[in-house]
Amino acid sequence: MTAMSSIISPYHFLLILLVAAHSICCGATGKEKDVYIVYMGSLPEGQYSPTSHHLSLLEEVLGESAATESIVRSYTRSFNAFAAKLSNEEQQRIASKKEVLSVFPSRTLQLQTTRSWEFIGLTETAKRNPTVESDVIIGVLDTGIWPESESFSDKGYGPPPKKWKGACKGGSNFTCNK
């Protein structure tokens, strides 16, 4: 038995070989990839396939095979955007494309409240019925969007920046603000 064979068993050698082969064949580049949101503004009018356009843009930057592996989600209803796993260099290259308005890291937001009773204005002295209340979780209280709400006030704001490329599509009973 040699000194080398007593240090590394045939099984360990095989495991090391398999890990090395996997890294080489599966494209381990040493570049860390994070999920980024690529925002492209509002959806164009007429015949437009957002997912196809998103994949095409990724193919320009990453190559055809890497694009389908990179895309995480294509947003196709309210706005034009997609999420993709990208390296820092790749996200900078995509951000430089003329049709891309912004690229930013995807982030997980924390829960806003775990005290639903207080959040909806009830006190601890409110009349309670544990049998009825059990296994009930209030997830979303949607009161709708009201343009008159203080949240939408543009009081004190100047005009939008000249580089802003968004669109506001007002309708009857709704006007756009700044």
Taking alpha carbons only, the member of 123, 85, 120, 127 closest to residue 105 is 85
Query: For 34-93, what is each residue's pLDDT tens digit?
Result: 999 999 988 888 888 889 999 999 999 998 888 888 999 998 887 899 999 999 999 999
Q: Is 109 exposed, middle or buried (0-12, 13-18, 19+ CB in 10 A)?
A: exposed
Average per-residue pLDDT for the chain: 76
